[in-house]
Structure 1
Amino acid sequence: MLKNFTNHIENQLPFLKEARLLIAISGGLDSVVLTHLCHELKLDITLAHCNFNLRGAESDGDEAFVLELADNLDLEVFIEHFSTNEFAKDQKLSTQMAARDLRYNWFSELAESLHFDYIVTAHHADDNLETFLINLSRGTGLSGLTGIPEINEHIVRPLLPFSREALETYANTTNLKWREDSSNASDTYLRNKLRHHVIPVLKETNANLLQNFKTTLGHLKDTSDIVEESLRAVAKRAIIDIDEHKMVLDILPFKKANNPKAYLYEMFKDYGFTAWDDMVDLLEAQSGKQILSDKYRLVKDRAHLILTHRNTQEDEEHTEHTERSRSALKDTFIIHTLEHEIQTPAGTLSFDEAAAVVGHQSHVIFVDQSKLKFPLTLRQWEEGDVFHPLGMNGKKKLSKYFKDEKLSLIDKENVWLLISEENIVWVLNRRADERFKVTDKTSTIVKIEFN
């Protein structure tokens, strides 16, 4: 085992030899073997142990064991205690998921603050098979069947090629001691059921199960690379605009694909969507139709799909059919005087006197001060709003202006208005109103800027 592990590090993970490593250690067989192997190779390792306070005296015994092991090997060790049940309740997570989040968040904080290069975990081949079967039983795409990655950003799993049987053989032949977690004997968790009842039968049926499984993972990863390449080609044609607030995609590349559902799944699976048949229907739906996940929404807008973060209040008010009233959503902000700079719900609004109208920028307008009647109001637009676009004769409904400007549904939801009495002074960052423009008779010019 030591020879095979050494060869694996030399051939596949040589960067670990020059790195500072933080080993996640529970006190169980896997992490104890990993610690001893790394110690034998004289790698630069430090231990990190989580006490989740879930098993009373047994949890404290694990902690004492890890402290003793670190002392025997002359290694530095970090211990952290967690109120796992309380965290799980607050975050509405299962105990297992809560422990996982707490563990990896703490490891990442340690690695960042103390400049460890990698976090090293003791996942092995049997863990990989269990994860594969769990994902398979729950329904997953190709990415869920490619196994646990050996390297995932700053996390490395050097024991993945080795079976639990090989680890146990090494531990016994070198007289290592480890702790047994009593919860591993329970069939409460799916992973334990697979470990105790399913995988032993599979191994009995096929003595080369893990090796064949490794071969299968290799084929699946190769296929996954082909899928990624194809998806990148479609994404390159489909993505029109992307920033921290939204992603806008052209529908046509998906409609032209032989299997639109497959491409939609690969494109949006990481955003929590599950209604894939509905997503395919979205390609032919009318504008305004949307699909929701827990944190995101995907909206059909003419020939586009627009992905944004989900705003629960807006979702409740959103209809499937086009221009809706925003009155229930709007925030209003009253501006009493021409202060130099004002922080508003929409952004920063500033007022300054100007000697002349200079330049043309979307976030700046110049108005005749005498035409402003205070207090001014800043609010979101509502259905039925009308203004007089600068440079045009007559008035125009904002909804018609938005249509002419080809604003998306998402863009319209973020439109704010500056109002004097009942009149629109400015559709912020888009168009000023003709009635407030500077003329030859203007005595005082006000420059209004919005960011």
Structure 2
Amino acid sequence: MTAIDFKNHIHKNLPFLTKSKVLIAISGGMDSVVLTHVCQNLELNIALAHCNFNLRGAESDADEEFVLELAEDLDLEVFIESFETETYASENNISIQMAARDLRYTWFQELAEQLQFDYILTAHHADDNVETFFINLMRGTGLDGLTGIPETNGKLVRPFLPFSHTALQAYANTKKLVWRNDSSNASTKYLRNKLRHDVIPILKKMNPQFLDNFQKTQAHLQESSEIIEDTLVKIQKKVVQASDNSIQLDVKKLKQLSNPKVYLYYLLKDFQFTEWDDVYQLLYAQSGKYVLSQTHRLVKDRTTLILTERPENIKTKSFIWEENESELFLPNGQLTIENSSKLGEISASRLYVDKDLLKYPLTVRKWEKGDYFYPFGMTGKKKVSKFFKDEKLSLPEKEQVWLLCSNNRIIWVIGLRADNRFKVTTDTNHILKISFHNET
């Protein structure tokens, strides 16, 4: 790689960098030092950001000192942050490598937002792309994991991806650059290092054109991925409907696709599901069956699959409404109560009750097995579960319903049906108007 090669790449593929305020992530290693020099030679508006992860004792501190001196020599602004990486990894039950990744990218994003940097540059190159490909392949990945590190991802830009480590090394040697060597990079106890030192060199030796051929193959995979994305956009319009609280997938239309299981994977892969056979079987399951991911739940409801965030403590939370309070805030809206001189129109979001029949404090809670009430406009009582069934509510919809209660007697299945026992009659002396303002 020459300075001309890099300049041509920037002007052809990343021209926005020439007019942007840019933050360079610099470790002090060869790759990021080369990136700093070529960006400065191109007269980009750059500053440096260095993370001290405190994992290698004096060596980590020496890296920090080197970056500070480099910034001074090049007359560049530099930001340094020190992290207790091992403590963070332990507290979050993740690996040291994952902890370091989380910490640095979170800090880079914060710096960019606070100081109005347009982009964050990292020195990932073509060999890093090969390593990432094999790591994902070994872990069992879909097509996304094989298409490589994206050159741009939001504010993150990786301008060295077309260039090999060898090309960067040659540039550094030609320019007589100085950099720091991270001793941990020599250890093969980490998968990436083992691939770097033991596996990929053999592939390059077997085929000197390995890296070029790999980049061509990955380009073909990226093109295939774009075709899939175009198809998914069309499929989504046919089978997916989204609301504020859920996503619904049409079961009948999914079954009509050539490979429903594959389409389900691509439609739902961002929601952390892993048991894809179980997800597929939901198409043929009875209503009420569901599959959980770490963050979401997919429920079969008659003719649809309903995706919602995974409910937490949904059966236990309740609210107390004291007599002197005129409003109560719920997770999905607001209840208000006020005196009324006359009976008005009752609707799904408003009812009128006989104030003298209420026992304070009122409670608002989720429904429980065995709950029953006397639906307004009907004779006799009905179990809440049967009422839900008659109303054809899905499981997620049931979980969104709140009950307004007096002395544990249901006044209102909020937003659905009032209870006869508290209705206004000719004997009523004091009328209360209760309203629900849905905010979801």
Give yes or no for the alignment of 1:369 onto 2:355: yes
Task: Quote the Cα distance in structure 2 between the aligned partners of 1:293 and 1:376.
Answer: 36
Q: CA deviation at 1:371?
A: 2.5
Which residue pairs with 1:309 in the alignment? 309
Which residue pairs with 2:430 in the alignment? 444
Task: Quote the Cα distance in structure 1 between the aligned partners of 2:152 and 2:331.
Answer: 43
Which residue pairs with 1:134 in the alignment? 135
- 1:27 partner SS: coil
Give yes or no for the alignment of 1:268 onto 2:268: yes
Task: Quote the Cα distance in structure 1 between the aligned partners of 2:63 and 2:347.
Answer: 65
Provide structure 1 residue ranges, at least 5 long, that are not aligned to the other structure. 315-328
Task: Quote the Cα distance in structure 1 between the aligned partners of 2:151 and 2:346.
Answer: 55
Q: CA deviation at 1:221?
A: 1.0
Q: CA deviation at 1:428?
A: 1.0
2:412–2:418: 8 Å Cα contact kept in structure 1? yes
Give yes or no for the alignment of 1:426 onto 2:418: no
Which residue pairs with 1:190 in the alignment? 191
Give yes or no for the alignment of 1:91 onto 2:77: no
Q: What do the CA deviations read for 1:128-152 (whole angstroms, capped 9, x no partner)? A: 1111111111110011111011011
Which residue pairs with 1:325 in the alignment? none
Matched to 2:305, the amino acid is L
The structure 2 residue matched to 1:397, chosen from 371, 383, 390, is: 383
Q: What do the CA deviations read for 1:199-220 (whole angstroms, capped 9, x no partner)? A: 1111111111121111111111
1:346–1:416: 8 Å Cα contact kept in structure 2? no
Q: CA deviation at 1:262?
A: 0.7
Q: CA deviation at 1:342?
A: 3.5
Q: CA deviation at 1:389?
A: 2.0
Matched to 1:20, the amino acid is K
The TM-score, its normalising length taken from structure 2, stands at 0.95
Task: Quote the Cα distance in structure 2 between the aligned partners of 1:203 and 1:352.
Answer: 78
- Tell me the number of residue pairs that the alignment of Structure 1 and Structure 2 aligns: 436
Q: CA deviation at 1:346?
A: 7.2
Q: What do the CA deviations read for 1:270-328 (whole angstroms, capped 9, x no partner)? A: 211111111111111122222222222222222221222223556xxxxxxxxxxxxxx
The TM-score, its normalising length taken from structure 1, stands at 0.92
- 1:283 partner SS: helix
Task: Quote the Cα distance in structure 2 between the aligned partners of 1:108 and 1:345.
Answer: 30
- 2:284 partner SS: coil
Instruction: Give the root-mean-square deviation of aligned CA atoms.
Output: 1.8
Provide structure 2 residue ranges, at least 5 long, that are not aligned to the other structure. none
Identity within the alignment, %: 58
Matches within 5 A, 1:320-359: 329-343=315-329, 348-359=334-345
Which residue pairs with 2:256 in the alignment? 256
1:381–1:416: 8 Å Cα contact kept in structure 2? yes
Task: Quote the Cα distance in structure 2 between the aligned partners of 1:364 and 1:77.
Answer: 60
Which residue pairs with 1:292 in the alignment? 292
1:250–1:303: 8 Å Cα contact kept in structure 2? yes
Q: What do the CA deviations read for 1:141-179 (whole angstroms, capped 9, x no partner)? A: 011111011011111111110000000000001000111
Which residue pairs with 1:110 in the alignment? 111
Matches within 5 A, 1:32-47: 32-47=33-48
1:124–1:162: 8 Å Cα contact kept in structure 2? yes
Task: Quote the Cα distance in structure 1 between the aligned partners of 2:151 and 2:322.
Answer: 61
Q: CA deviation at 1:347?
A: 5.5
- 1:177 partner SS: coil
Q: What do the CA deviations read for 1:181-231 (whole angstroms, capped 9, x no partner)? A: 001100011111111111111111111112111111111111111111222
2:346–2:352: 8 Å Cα contact kept in structure 1? no
Q: What do the CA deviations read for 1:235-288 (whole angstroms, capped 9, x no partner)? A: 222223332x32222222221111111111111222111111111111111222
